[in-house]
Amino acid sequence: MSRHPAQTTLFALSVLAGAAVASDGTPGDDPLSNQGILELASGADINDVAATYGFTVLESIQSRSLHLVQFEPALTEDQFELLSDPLLGDPDITDSELNHASGDQGSGTQSMLFFKSEIDFNTQPLWGALGLSAANQLATGDGIVIAVIDCGIDVDHPHFAGKIHPGAINLLGTPGAFDEVGNGIDDDSDGLTDEMLGHGTFVAGLASSVAPGAMIMPIRAMNDEGLGDGFTIARAVYHAIEHGADVINLSLGSETNLRVIDKAIHEAADLGIIVIASAGNESERTPEYPAGSNDVGGVAATDLNGVLATFSNFGDHILACAPGVAITGPDVGGWGEGDGTSAAAPLLAGTAALLLEQGKILRYDDFRDAIRKTSIDIRALNPGIDEKDLGAGLLDIEAAVNWPGACFADLAEDDVLNFDDLDAFVTAFLAGDNHADFAEPRGVLNFDDLDFFVQSFLTGCPGDGP
């Protein structure tokens, strides 16, 4: 294993899309000025469209009519906006945007690599602070699949023995070679080599630690420098959807909400997949995406006591906080310690797996409700920060698994089951709204969903008593 004791970006948020170079000269979310993403209308042929406009087709997500194209000469964002009007005037094209590249966040990163052992990992105070031991007496995530879209995973690490889902894939090269490896090259010319090596293993390891019975589906969508692009991240989300993921962890982010990623996440949420994302490491209130999306649980980082980490982003888009300071987890070939919201996010992802196994949640709205009702109030520990900017507070896994469960039939969201809920179900069912989608297969409304609602209605809300 190639180790870098002086790395400062190991567990950073990987930027994959968004704005241009920042005014201070730090790396930004630069667009790939010669790549565009086209979404085509049903029945349209990408080869015909490409020939019409002189594009070269690079990749396609055929199941979603999404295509990555290259055009010459390269265009600025303003130039592409001018091109977008005639593109969207073409009946064969329903959407278009520039693809975006990624870059590490330089001074925004707050992490360090140290040599650690399995004993350090197992005995770290993190687990006690979360109440994990007691929580795992009630749930382990058995039967749940957590997709980790990241830099890959150390497939030989003993922590993952028997836990890697067959849907694991590498979207950057040979599909079966999803192992997390470095190439020894400073690909982003930042003076550091393979600085994100270990990130995917670390993130997946923390999710697996919280939900040891869950299967992990590593999807390699970023390389050893944390470099990726919006189209590939969207491909990763769709792959997770199509291969049975119940939870998706995205320890990455962007200043811009790319439509191609947002649509993929929205589809996942509609199918009941819980999507969790790290908030970012720039000490800013401005949302990063996908953590800032409505369908995503954004996670900020604190110390074990609940004091917001100096590097962590925050804001009223955050679902909750979780420990992200001096966390020990699996590393490529061993164990490492690091800081970052990347470490906090998988703790929430693992918690979602526990609640899904228990049958206490069915969709993100349910999970959000669980976290809001069970997290620890940390407002007094963070003076000067608006209470809305800390989300629900500090994650408490033991309290979460002891939560009675979502009241699935309370579609009017007033904590009372009555005619309003019946009316809300019928309205949602007739409209094809996912709020009426309770039973398998998800995404299909049928008699099973009606039966589920009726049984939930008759049973009453969990915790109501006799």
d(CA 267, CA 39): 15
CA–CA dist 101, 92 (Å, integer): 26
Q: Which string of DSSP letters, residue by residue, matches 243-294?
A: TT-SEEEE-EEBSS--HHHHHHHHHHHHTT-EEEEE--SSS--S--BTTTST
**Catalytic entry in 30, 104, 150, 369:** 150
**Catalytic status, residue 150:** yes
Backbone angles phi, psi at 260, to 5 degrees: -65, -35
CB 105 within 8 A of CB 9: yes
159, 199, 239, 317: the active-site residue: 199
C-alpha angle 258-260-264 in degrees, rounded to nearest 5: 115
Q: How far, in Å, are 12, 40, 81, 312 from residue 22 at the CA level?
A: 18, 33, 21, 19
Catalytic one of 342, 375, 396, 456 = 342
CB 421 within 8 A of CB 412: yes
Neighbour-count burial of 20, counting CB atoms closer than 10 A to its CB (0-12 exposed, 13-18 middle, 19+ buried)? middle
What is d(CA 434, CA 240) in angstroms, rounded to the nearest whole number? 19
Q: Is the peptide bond before 290 cis (omega within 30 degrees of 0)?
A: yes
Active site residue 251: no
Please answer whether residues 49 and 38 qualify as being in contact, where contact means their C-beta atoms are separated by less than 8 angstroms: yes
Residue in the structure block whose two tokens are 């923390």: 206
CB 39 within 8 A of CB 94: yes
Query: Quick check: is 342 catalytic?
Result: yes
Q: What is the DSSP secondary-structure string of 31-92? A: EEEEEEEEEEPTT--HHHHHHHHT-EEEEEEGGGTEEEEE-SS---HHHHHHHHHHHHTSTT
Instruction: Tell me 457's DSSP state.
Output: H
Q: What share of the chain is helix, strand, coil (3-state, %, to 5)?
A: 35, 20, 45
Distance CA 123, CA 119 (A): 6
Positions marked active-site: 150, 199, 342
